[in-house]
Chains A and B, each alone.
Chain A
Amino acid sequence: MSILLDKNTRIVIQGITGGEGSFHAREALQFGTNIVAGVTPGKGGASFDGLPVYNRVSDAVEKDGANASGIFVPAGFAADAILESIEAGIKLIVCMTEGIPVLEMVKVKKALRGTDCRLIGPNCPGITTPGVGKIGFMPNFIHKEGNVGVISRSGTLTYEVIFQLSALDIGQSTSIGIGGDPIVGTTFTDALELFENDPATDLVILIGEIGGTAEEEAAQFIKEGMTKKVVSFIAGQTAPPGKRMGHAGAIISGGKGTAEEKVKTLREAGVIVEPNPANIGMAAKQSLQAQGLI
């Protein structure tokens, strides 16, 4: 078991004929992912490595039973691509695109309300379930099947942590990059809830960073409803206020969103916050050992 991805997941890639989309679709296929079709408006009727390419997402749903979508389209078209997938009845949308205007995402979130569709991202590396497949561009070789769930707002820092885990022989149930934007489809809290309810996950690693209140909200959830141990790291202790640190959402504004505050709140909720990013994997291993879970 795992969360979000399983053997019944049938994936359509939006933007499959583009540079990014085609490269990462092939990587995902090599990883064993069940991609059933691609969509590029204007390229309908073409074929991609034997997969059908359509003009519309709804074609992939009707003809190939697609129920999940990975989005690799430029920022100016990405909100529209998400809305198209929601409308086509896709249940899981993973959007990798960086640079979508915030107000577009506010509208997308309104459109998601009341539907049973889940959005991951945007501005994220996607999700990976070792042994099942991936949507996004996390590198294939870092993963290993196991019982640790990983949630992160970042990309390469996430690979670093997954790599540490695998090197220590600790596998992952699913790894989710929730994205570095101010407004994202799936928050830390949503992802924690999924892992809490997943029998294959024994421990969760939460990699946060400065900006916003997602970590504080996660702490609240952990305090009230989480039985599984959470190990965390917060990036940006040395980040100056008022500057956007790469990710659109990584900014301390009006004295809010500091790493210090997040670390304190998470610790108060019983989370193991590891100060040294080189030791995150080890901290998870020690917690699993202490609980007799490995």
Chain B
Amino acid sequence: MKEYEIPVPRGTMTDDPAEAGKIASTIGSERVVVKAQIHAGGRGKGGGIKVAASPEEAEKAAHEIIGMQLVTHQTGPEGKEVNKILIEEAKEIRQELYLGIVIDRSRHSEQPVVMASAAGGMEIEVVAAENPEKIIKVGANPVASFSPFQGRKIAYGLGLDKPLVSELSGIIQKLYRLFIEKDASLVEINPLVITADDHFLALDAKINFDDDALYRHPEIAGLRDPDEEDPLEVLAKETEVNYIKLDGNVGCMVNGAGLAMTTMDLIKMAGAEPANFLDVGGTASPERIERAFRILTSDKNVRAILVNIFGGIVRCDRVAQGIIEAASNMDLKLPMVVRLQGTNAEEARRIMAESTVKFDVAEGLYEAAEKVAQMAH
């Protein structure tokens, strides 16, 4: 935001509560705000944001927040440990607004859309559901830049007066430039406040970046904080396996994302809960299968495994050999159901049946899910 000259409060980040008092006096404002730095919204309600009227109070707040397990509606019930805080100047606020840019996927839009609302501070999803008329939307053409008239359209729509109109229009243009130049999929300033002395200030912001564009933004890829991610998902990323951890006890390995999601649904339908989403990729080579098994079995909740491969270009007999090799290399003990369908499936089933590694073989999709669900119970 600073890089794009969007007005933000003066502040400094630290992980040392003893530093907080000194930072507060350097900032020099009458009051400061101490904010927990985690990747989740709703921090204020959970006690992760505190206002301090003196450096001593700031230090006290810092001691309370650093090391706390902060629970918000976005962290899940276990919460997230706070390691860092941001201390910034507190300003007197006259009004809170919402300003955001997203890619609108709907068929007749398919372009970035700037959204603004006078109902700032609230979750925009709630406003959209309950009072959609309170959100002003303006579509933007990524080939042209965002025009001043579009900014005015939003500012007047929010009921703002003269000097604020051009200031807001300027902020929107800068934010739009950030969105395009950084390949964002969402930028959100919530709240964007109007201070008592009639200026705008971005008090809190969230930016999502397009994973597929990270290759051309090393500065953004460098912001990644593995501490904020599930350790198994971090390992999966490093080994290029597409894996998402879930809460169940049936591990699954599938080729293709759509079939992987469907396999999770089938496990649920058969009365068990999936432990993960895992797409080994279209080729399902032996090396990838072994890497995938290692990630799957690192999840201690997993009690049974379902392998579901549809052999299109990839031959099922080769996949079967890959599974057997990986399972014996790893001395895999967990019960497992293997379903191979498509190219050379019969040959694959024969290989599986003859191997010394223990598998249960299934032909049908639902049959496979039912078998593995029983094993997990």
Residues of A within 8 A of B (CB): 23, 27, 75-76, 99-103, 106-107, 109-110, 137-139, 141-142, 152-160, 163, 180, 182-183, 187, 189, 207, 209-210, 212-214, 217, 233, 235-240, 243-250, 254-256, 259, 275-279
Question: For residue A235, which residues in chain B have a CB less than 8 angstroms away from its CB?
Answer: 258, 261-262, 265
Question: For residue B282, which residues in chain A have a CB less than 8 angstroms away from its CB?
Answer: 155-156
Q: Distance (Å) between the CB of A103 and the closest chain B CB?
A: 6
Question: For residue A182, which residues in chain B have a CB less than 8 angstroms away from its CB?
Answer: 103, 105, 185
Q: How far is the CA of A202 from the CA of B66 in the complex (A)?
A: 64
Q: How far is the CA of A180 from the CA of B258 in the complex (A)?
A: 9
Contact B125 A254 (CB under 8 A): yes
Contact A100 B212 (CB under 8 A): yes
5 A-B pairs with least C-beta separation: A154-B258, A246-B257, A156-B256, A139-B312, A157-B258
Question: For residue B267, which residues in chain A have a CB less than 8 angstroms away from its CB?
Answer: 238
Q: How far is the CA of A130 from the CA of B60 in the complex (A)?
A: 72
Interface membership of B200, Cβ < 8 A: no
Q: Which residue of A lies closest to B314 (CB)?
A: A139
Q: How far is the CA of A127 from the CA of B168 in the complex (A)?
A: 47
Q: Which residue of B lies closest to A221 (CB)?
A: B107
Q: Distance (Å) between the CB of B284 and the closest chain A CB?
A: 10
Knowing A139-B312, A243-B244, the reply to whether A157 touches B103 (Cβ < 8 A) is: no
Residues of B within 8 A of A (CB): 103, 105-107, 110-112, 124-125, 128-129, 141-143, 180, 183, 185, 210-213, 215-216, 242, 244, 246, 254-262, 264-269, 273-274, 277, 279, 282, 310-313, 341-343, 364-366
Knowing A243-B244, A278-B266, the reply to whether A102 touches B103 (Cβ < 8 A) is: yes
Contact B212 A246 (CB under 8 A): no
Q: How far is the CA of A239 from the CA of B267 in the complex (A)?
A: 12
Question: For residue B364, which residues in chain A have a CB less than 8 angstroms away from its CB?
Answer: 278
Q: Distance (Å) between the CB of B107 and the closest chain A CB?
A: 5
Knowing A237-B265, A240-B244, the reply to whether A76 touches B260 (Cβ < 8 A) is: no
Q: Contacting B107 at CB < 8 Å: which of A103, A137, A217, A247?
A: A217
The SS class assigned to the B binding surface is: mixed
Q: How far is the CA of A216 from the CA of B311 in the complex (A)?
A: 31
Q: Contacting A137 at CB < 8 Å: which of B125, B310, B313?
A: B313
- Starting from the known contacts A109-B110, A160-B262, 14 additional A-B residue pairs (CB-CB under 8 Å) come to A101-B210, A102-B212, A106-B103, A152-B258, A156-B255, A156-B256, A156-B312, A157-B259, A157-B261, A213-B106, A244-B211, A250-B258, A254-B125, A256-B125
Q: How far is the CA of A213 from the CA of B282 in the complex (A)?
A: 26
Question: For residue A212, which residues in chain B have a CB less than 8 angstroms away from its CB?
Answer: 105-106
Q: How far is the CA of A183 from the CA of B312 in the complex (A)?
A: 26
Contact B257 A110 (CB under 8 A): no
Q: Contacting B312 at CB < 8 Å: which of A106, A159, A255?
A: A159
Knowing A138-B312, A182-B103, A187-B107, the reply to whether A110 touches B261 (Cβ < 8 A) is: no
Q: Distance (Å) between the CB of A273 and the closest chain B CB?
A: 13
Q: Distance (Å) between the CB of B321 and the closest chain A CB?
A: 19
Knowing A156-B256, A207-B258, A235-B262, the reply to whether A163 touches B213 (Cβ < 8 A) is: no
Q: Contacting B244 at CB < 8 Å: which of A153, A245, A275?
A: A245
Contact B142 A155 (CB under 8 A): no
Q: Distance (Å) between the CB of A37 and the closest chain B CB?
A: 23
Contact B277 A246 (CB under 8 A): yes
Q: Which residue of B lies closest to A255 (CB)?
A: B125
Q: How far is the CA of A141 from the CA of B110 in the complex (A)?
A: 36
Q: Which residue of B lies closest to A275 (CB)?
A: B269
Question: For residue A102, which residues in chain B have a CB less than 8 angstroms away from its CB?
Answer: 103, 183, 185, 210, 212-213
